[in-house]
Structure 1
């Protein structure tokens, strides 16, 4: 069995012949491979005259290179393989990363090195991409966290670049100017070479193969030495209090610490501190502040961190009382930091922290591991604990030496201020004072799920409502899925929010123990999932059933508030993500029986559970875990039942859900979900393949050519029992009606393109997709997810193999038939948008 200690071994770094630094991580049991490139230059290294140039170049690298056109490059290639890909420009580094089936890894790396070394930087493509980047700027100008960081930058003493504008927009990127073009190419030449780049590779290939692939990357890049850059002192306006006006956002308090001249191990020391700051453990900071009705959650984030300096922000989601008494919150946080920095906390907390990190790495996907190990000084088994302890002393001493910057964000009226970047409504405030409270902090209780103490035994009798799928997973993973179906209609979203809110501490503790806990609302059903370290799952389920059945009384009032906030659409989260949370509930025709009640309580939930029938699936568990799991299952609310699935065809209607609520936003969000027209394996296979074939074209047409917006995608997906095609667009300039017209036009044009393509091309894509659909079953989480989707849709557990077999045999006419069904007048479409329906053809 793969141990957590193996996962915590830091992959050694080696310097290759031309200067590229590489870390190689062979993962024998994985079906996927991943690559991450870190270029040691970022937005703070761009010419001052052209804010956003580094970010702009990151975008441009995906738009074609010497050996691969934009249509053949890394992004469409990874999308066509069903993989994932992204890039990120930070202050002092830029990351490019992807994950895909291991069989396609080398082809992906060829594209990656070519786009890094030989980008086309075509002027026409630059003009189009500038509009995409400007759309991203407009979206970020609505984002609460972005505006908060911009406001904090106003308190940092110049000339440190943290206070500057680096995202870029239409006005800062004069593509037509020869001087800008010279700077763009000069920046690429200065930083995109072996001396400035780290490469991390992970996959099932042996180390020799990964070494060969790394050497190919090393040889394909220009060879130059490392370019050192000067770091300016980081100083802040001490004891400054600010207020930032944000519409439709929950009140938050941000305590910002400007840190400089930190020791080398300050990175893992800060990560260690952040784990305990955000801890939901009994007796911890978050729970004590919640009990005092001052705040709902605490987290630490670092908008800037480089070369021994950084800005660390402790963010607290405030209650009304906390908003009125912010000085008490500030005092409590600083008092807790002083308590936690005491040497008496170190030993017990350090041991638990190590277990948490080991567990998080144990079953992480290849890309997640690379993103962990790329961080300098990330904790590993070889870390020098004494140096981290000393760094923690230095870190907390700086945090306590001077008052933090205090930023309140809420809907209070503030005047607009002049900025060269994001628009801010900001004002200074006199610092509040409060009498220090005696908090009497205690050591947080240890997470019991990190070392579950269970008596293993096989199950004697398990209800048929819970399906078991074996064999035991040899890496120690398990997955448990439970679904409650409401016998009478649909549940109240307020009740779901109440239960979900009450489950937050359990979700936090489960994540530490290597288990992902998710609780989902599908309108006519609720779904509870536990996936990860199998040995912990019976204990987690047993301990959370009481919260599911009878949440604390205060959770019900919070449920109503959260449901109302959910309906209003706010600025706390990206618009398209908010709509995606609404979509699953809108796919059912059942009416919401409770509406949005002004009051809910234990009686409301008890009646819901009495009318609920549950079914589930357990995947990958050892037989000796069957007994503890069966004991926990026995106590579930509701009635176990093998629930028949509705096999009727979706109604041939077009439904539109306007979810604007009371919220107002400058952008338009639009989702279009098209459910499968029938339940056959061939229909599912052809739609899955069609989704993969058109995904890259959809992205390129709407994002690059039409420049509708920054955030958009299309893919095949399943919500509860409903599978189908999803199109999603967030746009700063197009209306929902215009977006719909563009989607329809894209589908019409795609049908023409399909008709003109060679039969052999469709057959090749079908074989590749079918093979990958089967290969993905070697990945435990993909296997478990496929099995659960099959059961929810009313299929047998061998459905995915049947779909893969059908996929391999698909031909050109099958793809065209799928496209016709998707576009037909009798197709069932469900739209969700923050806008009214465009005409009366929509219900």
Structure 2
């Protein structure tokens, strides 16, 4: 048995975390992360098998097996047994099939961790693979494939395949559907069983756990249950064939994009041999960090409207590679200067010998265990799969102009361009010539902006020796409300923070925010390279920013962000700022968090400031007054009209994008109190799984059926959404109404013990913060919702999670039943959303709701 502490893996976790990993004699990797403030346990099981392992004549087999894992297992044979058990615990589960790894992840209350781990191991190692249930799952996969035909992410992967060797598995579409899996179900079950036996054994698997439990206790649990996984002699991996064709470029767009405003995205890709990418992971990450430090963005923005720029060492669908993705507000007429500028920046990054590691970022606690499980279960690259002569054993030998590939998402309306089409996905694409531009065509370099905070009179502002302020309201006048600290959370050493919020037009705020983000992209990247963070936001209460990190130059960072906001607010931004992405159902659910509440929130002061960190009362007030003076110069442009509009019959229609129909009932809470927010979350938990079963299994309406909770400016909402490839909009609407009429109240009836379990489950999701960043975000949003016409109490502190906990504890079972009755009777504020394909022969952009 081999055991080792993993220092690198703990980077970004809260500072008091502990991480340990161990490989068992069976070959199984286990890893545990003790995060003392974690509210719940995250469990992940991963197997080193993915869609690149699909047989050529049965594409989608790995994905089908992922679905089959949830159809019952040896110790828990019932179909949907795991889903029902997780539901009773108030937890969540999901799974994902990637190129090389399939993972299953559970989020559970801490006390349910061991029972969940037992079920996870049984699911992975001993699935029943019932033939009748699997036949149904083939239909589910087919509906999923059809729904994903509206998602640009699928079309990107299809176009990316044009850059690969046609004989490599990565060149084909991997989603899996009825046509690729076939209809010989007994044969399919036999193939699944053989596929599972070959790939799902301990030597190719990893179990990872993150929770508040001591790390040794977690390791013991993982080892004890992990021993049940099938132990098979490790097989010799087949050579990892080089997937890439000779360097080339491909342009593509989504089939539905002619009716939608679409930004262009250019991806520059430098493939890398797997062994080299693993051995040089740290230098490659340092190169990516240098490309993300703001200097390249500042240079490109001289000639291009760059909305986003990101260098990444783990791009989706490419295997080992460095990717530089640049999102442009409008596709450029000539990309030669852009490409030459990026090539020059990459050469400079590779030549730098003294590489400063990038500042450690706070990781997503949900994503961290999945990333570690995928990393541990992935098979190492076979030696010699790509020849590495002496001159090609360093990353710089591969990061050259000659090795670059281009993937360009272009606008769709180009009459002079002839597009080809990928048959299976109908993705329009065309080859791009690669006449690499000379270095002389690169744009002149621009220095990254550096902070040099000055007050309005031009005098540098330095630290003042005044007293540290007391928590609460520090200063207020007609222009400014300044609050100081009060955060009930351990403070990071030598960190200062400024949070600012101010009223702004809610109409058109999405476009204004996107323009603000574009204008401050260089600034945000440069701040990140210095270990600072700048976050921008907008909602019905107004616009806001959060800046935190080392105090040096932090006020200047805020000044420059305010300048960017004033420039963005002086022009009329487009109503729909970006092209749609994701499934139709997800697009509808996104509206819950962005649409303005029907009851407007209370008035904000002209400028609300919250300050923390290394400064005195006088310095904080002087700095905040400088911010207020800066904002007073803003000149706002008239906002654009709201969109989309309803049809006059209570239905709001999304622009047509596909052949699917989708309907969502939006339900708004009666107020924005913590009590109402908890009640709607409880109701969503009671309704979600039964709604899914009713719509998807009993009625057979479609692939997506869910009940989700969202908030807009703190205002709670529920969304009951169904997406179907065949049912009419009216059929979907009536199905939702029938569910509410028959089951809304019945499912909300809970006795005392059941309600207590739901309380514990909600606290595991929404209880006290798990990380410093989460504490700041939640405290700031709670401060924005305060009534500002009264002074703070003497013992004021900012810990909204304490008030939220008290509100949750006060709820009784009867309160939930009363809310469900109001929902069923239609007395809560409601709004319908719908999507239908455009009528045949009519332009997609001139959609009229179809007759139902």
Shorter-chain TM-score tier: 0.7 to 0.9
**Corresponding residue for residue 6 of structure 2:** none
**Corresponding residue for residue 272 of structure 1:** 286
Higher mean alpha-carbon deviation, 819-828 vs 731-740, is at 731-740
**Corresponding residue for residue 302 of structure 2:** 291
**Corresponding residue for residue 544 of structure 1:** 558
CA shift for structure 1 position 231: 3.0
- CA offsets 1:754-783 (integer angstroms, 9 cap, x no match): 37x673553443553476478535665565
Alpha-carbon separation, structure 2, partners of 1:737 and 1:537: 57
Q: Are residues 1:397 and 2:397 paired?
A: yes
CA shift for structure 1 position 182: 0.6
Whether the 8 Å contact between 2:496 and 2:550 is mirrored in structure 1 is no
1:482 to 1:823, Cα distance in 2 relative to 1, 3 A: farther
Q: What is the aligned length?
A: 766
Please give the residue correspondences for 1:616-695 in structure 2 after superposition, counting only pairs within 5 Å: 621=612, 630-637=621-628, 656=650, 658=652, 660=654, 664-668=657-661, 670-678=663-671, 683-695=676-688
1:331 to 1:489, Cα distance in 2 relative to 1, 3 A: closer
- CA offsets 1:221-260 (integer angstroms, 9 cap, x no match): 1112333321343254434343324324322333333433
**Corresponding residue for residue 502 of structure 1:** 519
Whether the 8 Å contact between 1:254 and 1:315 is mirrored in structure 2 is yes
Structure with greater proportional helix content:
1
Whether the 8 Å contact between 2:42 and 2:107 is mirrored in structure 1 is yes
Of the candidates 347, 353, 362, which is equivalent to residue 346 of structure 1?
353
CA shift for structure 1 position 691: 2.1
**Corresponding residue for residue 521 of structure 1:** 538
Q: Are residues 1:177 and 2:188 paired?
A: no
- CA offsets 1:675-707 (integer angstroms, 9 cap, x no match): 223567655543332222223333444445555
Alpha-carbon separation, structure 1, partners of 2:14 and 2:804: 36
Please give the residue correspondences for 1:818-837 in structure 2 after superposition, counting only pairs within 5 Å: 818-834=819-835
Alpha-carbon separation, structure 1, partners of 2:551 and 2:700: 46
TM-score, length-normalised on structure 1?
0.78
**Corresponding residue for residue 105 of structure 2:** 97
Alpha-carbon separation, structure 2, partners of 1:10 and 1:271: 24
Whether the 8 Å contact between 1:715 and 1:726 is mirrored in structure 2 is yes
Alpha-carbon separation, structure 2, partners of 1:770 and 1:250: 39
1:340 to 1:497, Cα distance in 2 relative to 1, 3 A: closer
CA shift for structure 1 position 710: 4.6
**Corresponding residue for residue 406 of structure 2:** 406
Of the candidates 164, 168, 189, which is equivalent to residue 176 of structure 2?
168
SS in 1 for 2:142: helix
Q: Are residues 1:335 and 2:344 paired?
A: yes
Q: Are residues 1:122 and 2:130 paired?
A: yes
- CA offsets 1:646-693 (integer angstroms, 9 cap, x no match): xxxxxxxx99463635x6444445443322235676555433322222
1:186 to 1:475, Cα distance in 2 relative to 1, 3 A: farther
CA shift for structure 1 position 170: 2.1
1:735 to 1:113, Cα distance in 2 relative to 1, 3 A: same
Q: Are residues 1:257 and 2:270 paired?
A: yes
Whether the 8 Å contact between 1:162 and 1:304 is mirrored in structure 2 is no
Listed as ranges, the gaps of 5+ residues in structure 2 are: 1-9, 378-389, 453-460, 633-647, 788-795, 837-846
**Corresponding residue for residue 839 of structure 2:** none
Alpha-carbon separation, structure 1, partners of 2:252 and 2:785: 47
Alpha-carbon separation, structure 1, partners of 2:496 and 2:589: 27
TM-score, length-normalised on structure 2?
0.77
1:220 to 1:828, Cα distance in 2 relative to 1, 3 A: same
CA shift for structure 1 position 27: 2.1
Alpha-carbon separation, structure 1, partners of 2:443 and 2:673: 63
CA shift for structure 1 position 341: 1.6
**Corresponding residue for residue 221 of structure 1:** 229
**Corresponding residue for residue 842 of structure 2:** none
CA shift for structure 1 position 269: 3.8
Higher mean alpha-carbon deviation, 104-113 vs 76-85, is at 76-85
CA shift for structure 1 position 501: 2.7
SS in 2 for 1:299: strand
Q: Are residues 1:137 and 2:128 paired?
A: no
Alpha-carbon separation, structure 2, partners of 1:686 and 1:218: 38
CA shift for structure 1 position 720: 0.8
SS in 1 for 2:237: coil
- CA offsets 1:795-836 (integer angstroms, 9 cap, x no match): 897775455445446554433222111222322113444469
1:114 to 1:664, Cα distance in 2 relative to 1, 3 A: same
1:19 to 1:744, Cα distance in 2 relative to 1, 3 A: same
SS in 2 for 1:127: helix
Alpha-carbon separation, structure 1, partners of 2:675 and 2:40: 26
Higher mean alpha-carbon deviation, 42-51 vs 796-805, is at 796-805
1:693 to 1:173, Cα distance in 2 relative to 1, 3 A: same
Please give the residue correspondences for 1:696-711 in structure 2 after superposition, counting only pairs within 5 Å: 696-706=689-699, 708-710=701-703
Alpha-carbon separation, structure 1, partners of 2:562 and 2:662: 33
Alpha-carbon separation, structure 2, partners of 1:12 and 1:730: 43
Alpha-carbon separation, structure 2, partners of 1:26 and 1:458: 35
**Corresponding residue for residue 792 of structure 2:** none
Alpha-carbon separation, structure 1, partners of 2:502 and 2:304: 32
- CA offsets 1:140-178 (integer angstroms, 9 cap, x no match): 323334323322312322422111221111222235422
Higher mean alpha-carbon deviation, 22-31 vs 96-105, is at 96-105
Listed as ranges, the gaps of 5+ residues in structure 1 are: 379-389, 592-608, 640-653
SS in 2 for 1:543: helix
Alpha-carbon separation, structure 2, partners of 1:238 and 1:717: 47
**Corresponding residue for residue 841 of structure 2:** none
1:144 to 1:268, Cα distance in 2 relative to 1, 3 A: farther
Whether the 8 Å contact between 1:52 and 1:169 is mirrored in structure 2 is yes
